[in-house]
Amino acid sequence: MTLNETIDRLKTAHLMVRDADEWDGLSAALVEAYHSNNDDLIEQLQPPYLQSWRTVTHYVLRDPFDAAGISVTEPGRPWGIATLTANGISREPVLCHVDLTVPGGPAELELLTFAEAMTYYAQCLAPLLEHTGARQEQKTR
């Protein structure tokens, strides 16, 4: 499977859950909740937001990722979607611009827009698919 085919499937799967405007609206509301220190709203918005991204990756995209030789495991970072691994190479797409393990934390949170998340996801997948594609090509020779 090519990178473009994989990204098309990835995008389509996430758009089945919410359209891009809904993803962006939820991201903006969650960022605003963090900036205003509204813990109740954070508790209301964060779990379904993260769970939606993670569920699509872990379950809806399981077959395409399996077909591409990519394993999907739990993320290692708080805003990570999943850890994607192929042939010893691992990448973890995340949903924010800042690493929350550095000082400043959630108060400086800047979540990606849907388009930015898809672009970053593609950047994470590219080396995994290049490597698996090269192996599959060698097998067919």
The 83-86 sheet, strands edge to edge: 71-73, 83-86, 89-91
Q: Which residues pair with 73 in a beta bridge?
A: 83
Can you give the residue ranges of every domain in the chain? Answer: 3-139
- Given the structure tokens 């042939």, which residue do they identify? 87
DSSP notation for 79-132: TB--EEEETTEEE--BSBSS-TTSTTGGGG--BPPHHHHHHHHHHHHHHHHHHH
Digitized pLDDT (tens) for each residue of the chain, 141 residues in all: 677 888 899 999 999 999 999 999 999 999 999 989 999 999 999 999 999 999 999 999 988 899 889 999 999 988 999 999 998 999 999 999 855 555 555 556 789 999 999 999 999 999 998 865 544 443 434
Report strand pairing: 89-91 vs 71-73.
unpaired
Q: Which residues pair with 62 in a beta bridge?
A: none
- In terms of C-beta density within 10 A (0-12 exposed, 13-18 middle, 19 or more buried), how is residue 38 classed? middle
- Here the tokens at position 46 are 């964060």
